[in-house]
């Protein structure tokens, strides 16, 4: 017995807007499939993917009454996914950025206020002294004085990529020393 041809997502919207639960379930299944193939490029952990999918599905549910059926569904849902993914990264990495900004302040301020000095960061200046002079200088110019990798490269006669690689290696050395690895 031949299966009836599945309706496209766009064709499912009208019945959904009229209250058809079966069409809604079909649309959710199709949407999850679209989202998994999209999010797997950006998130390696399945739990993270599922978290973002749930956020996107909530947004789709809230926005479905205003969906314009003459517009393609996939780009619409992927636009929502991009926004939810950006929100996810913003929340997830906000604390990390704050720590690096705080770290940069602690590294280069001569006399930081005592309340900023944390026992975890007492040895960082010692770890920085272990870095080669060029790497220390690159970190100082990029993160304390705000130079771009291209500008630092011009000062040292290095390519922009070489400056980024050097800075990354310096971060990793300091990070490993701080975390005790």
Q: Is the dihedral of CA 7, 9, 10, 15 positive or negative?
A: positive
Share of the chain above pLDDT 90, in %: 17
Whether 106 and 82 share a structural domain: no
Residues with Cβ < 8 Å from 57, sequence gap 6 or more?
Answer: 28, 31, 32
**Predicted TM-score of the model (pTM):** 0.49
Whether 104 contacts 143, CB under 8 Å? yes
The per-residue pLDDT for range 38-69, each reduced to its tens digit, is 998 888 788 889 999 999 999 988 888 888 87
Whether 139 and 75 share a structural domain: no
Whether 70 and 108 share a structural domain: no
Rounded CA separation 124/29 (Å): 50
Residue 1 forms part of a structural domain: no
Whether 80 and 112 share a structural domain: no
Rounded CA separation 94/91 (Å): 5
Residue 2 forms part of a structural domain: no
**pLDDT of res. 94:** 64
Whether 73 contacts 9, CB under 8 Å? yes
Whether 67 contacts 76, CB under 8 Å? yes
Whether 17 and 83 share a structural domain: yes
**pLDDT of res. 157:** 92
**pLDDT of res. 50:** 92
Alpha helices in 6-159 (DSSP H): 9-17, 21-39, 46-63, 73-108, 124-130, 133-139, 149-156
Whether 52 and 123 share a structural domain: no
Question: Pick from 169, 168, 142, 171: which is nearest to 155 by CA?
Answer: 142
Whether 105 contacts 116, CB under 8 Å? yes
* DSSP labels, 11-37: HHHHHHHTT-HHHHHHHHHHHHHHHHH
Rounded CA separation 123/103 (Å): 12
**pLDDT of res. 120:** 45
Q: Give me the number of domains the chain comprises.
A: 2
Whether 102 contacts 109, CB under 8 Å? no
**pLDDT of res. 133:** 87
**pLDDT of res. 116:** 47
For every one of its 181 residues, what pLDDT tens digit does the chain have, with 9 covering 90 and above?
A: 333 345 577 777 777 767 777 877 888 888 899 999 899 888 878 888 999 999 999 998 888 888 887 888 888 899 999 999 988 888 877 655 545 544 554 444 444 444 444 444 555 667 777 888 888 888 878 876 778 888 889 988 999 999 999 988 888 887 777 666 5
- What is the extent of the structural domain holding 113? 96-179
**pLDDT of res. 1:** 37
Whether 47 and 89 share a structural domain: yes
């Amino acid at each position: 017995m031949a299966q009836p041809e599945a309706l496209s997502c766009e064709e499912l919207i009208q019945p959904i807007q009229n209250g058809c639960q079966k069409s809604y379930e079909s649309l959710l299944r199709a949407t999850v499939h679209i989202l998994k193939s999209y999010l797997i490029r950006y998130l390696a952990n399945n739990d993270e993917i599922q978290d973002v999918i749930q956020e996107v599905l909530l947004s789709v549910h809230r926005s479905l009454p205003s969906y314009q059926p003459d517009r393609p569904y996939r780009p619409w849902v992927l636009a929502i996914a991009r926004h939810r993914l950006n929100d996810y990264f913003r929340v997830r990495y906000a604390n990390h950025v704050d720590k690096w900004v705080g770290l940069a302040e602690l590294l280069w301020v001569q006399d930081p206020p005592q309340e900023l000095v944390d026992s975890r960061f007492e040895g960082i200046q010692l770890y920085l002294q272990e870095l080669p002079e060029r790497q220390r200088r690159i970190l100082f110019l990029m993160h304390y004085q705000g130079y771009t990798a291209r500008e630092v490269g011009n000062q040292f006669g290095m390519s922009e990529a070489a400056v980024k690689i050097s800075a990354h290696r310096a971060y990793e050395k300091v990070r490993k020393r701080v975390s005790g690895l």
